[in-house]
Chains A and B, each alone.
Chain A
Amino acid sequence: MSDEEDDLILSELNDEELVLQMFDDLYDGMAEEIAESVDILLERKWLPYDILTKALVEGMRIVGIDFRDGILFVPEVLLAAGAMKRGMKILKPLLIESGAPQLGKMVIGTVKGDIHDIGKNLVAMMMEGAGFEVVDLGINNPVEDYLAAIKEEKADILGMSALLTTTMPYMKVVIDTMIAEGIRDDYIVLVGGAPLNEEFGKAIGADAYCRDAAVAVETAKDYMARKHNQL
Chain B
Amino acid sequence: MTRDSEQFFDTPKASPDRVLILACGALAREIIALKELNGWSHFVLQCLPANLHLYPDKIPDAVEKVVLASKGKFAKIFVAYADCGTGGILQKRCDDLEVEMIAGPHCYSFFEGNAAFEQRAEITSFFLTDFLARQFDSFVWKPMGLDRHPELRDLYFGNYKKLVYLAQTNDPDLDQRAEQAALQLDLAYERRFTGYGDLESALAP
Contacts and interface: CB of A to CB of B under 8 A. Distances in A.
Interface in A139-194: 139-140, 164-166, 168, 194
B149 A75 contact: yes
B88 A140 contact: no
A74 B149 CA distance: 12
A164 B87 CA distance: 8
A67 interface: no
A165 B88 contact: yes
B56 A76 contact: no
What DSSP secondary structure best describes chain A's contact surface?
loop
Contacts of B105: 164-166
Given A165-B86, A195-B56, A113 B121 contact: yes
Contacts of B155: 78, 118
Contacts of B145: 73-76, 78
B159 A116 contact: yes
Contacts of B86: 165, 195
Interface residues of B, number: 22
B149 A168 contact: no
A75 B85 contact: no
A65 to B, nearest CB: 19
Contact of B123 (A115, A195, A196): A115
Contacts of A139: 159
Nearest to B149: A75
A212 interface: no
Nearest to B86: A195
Contacts of B144: 74-75
Which of B83, B86, B155, B156 gathers most chain A CB within 10 Å?
B155
Contacts of A140: 123
A59 B73 CA distance: 53
A204 to B, nearest CB: 12
Which of A76, A195, A196 gathers most chain B CB within 10 Å?
A195
B193 interface: no
A140 to B, nearest CB: 7
B89 interface: yes
A165 B85 contact: yes
Interface string B99-139: 00000010000000000001001011000000000000000
A197 interface: yes
B148 interface: yes
A114 B152 contact: no
A114 B148 contact: no
A200 B159 contact: no
B189 interface: no
A160 B43 CA distance: 43
Given A73-B145, A75-B144, A115 B160 contact: yes
A194 B85 CA distance: 8
Contacts of A74: 144-145
A115 B85 contact: no
Contacts of A75: 144-146, 148-149, 152
Given A79-B149, A115-B159, A116-B159, A200 B124 contact: no
Interface in B84-102: 85-89
A24 interface: no
A207 interface: no
A115 B105 CA distance: 16
A195 B87 contact: yes
Given A195-B86, A197-B87, 9 more contacts: A74-B145, A76-B145, A78-B149, A113-B121, A115-B160, A118-B156, A165-B87, A166-B118, A200-B88
Identify the 7 closest CB pairs spanning chains A and B, nearest first. A75-B145, A195-B87, A115-B159, A165-B83, A166-B105, A165-B105, A195-B85
16 contacts: A74-B145, A75-B144, A75-B145, A78-B145, A78-B149, A78-B155, A114-B123, A115-B123, A117-B159, A140-B123, A165-B83, A165-B86, A165-B88, A194-B85, A195-B86, A196-B87
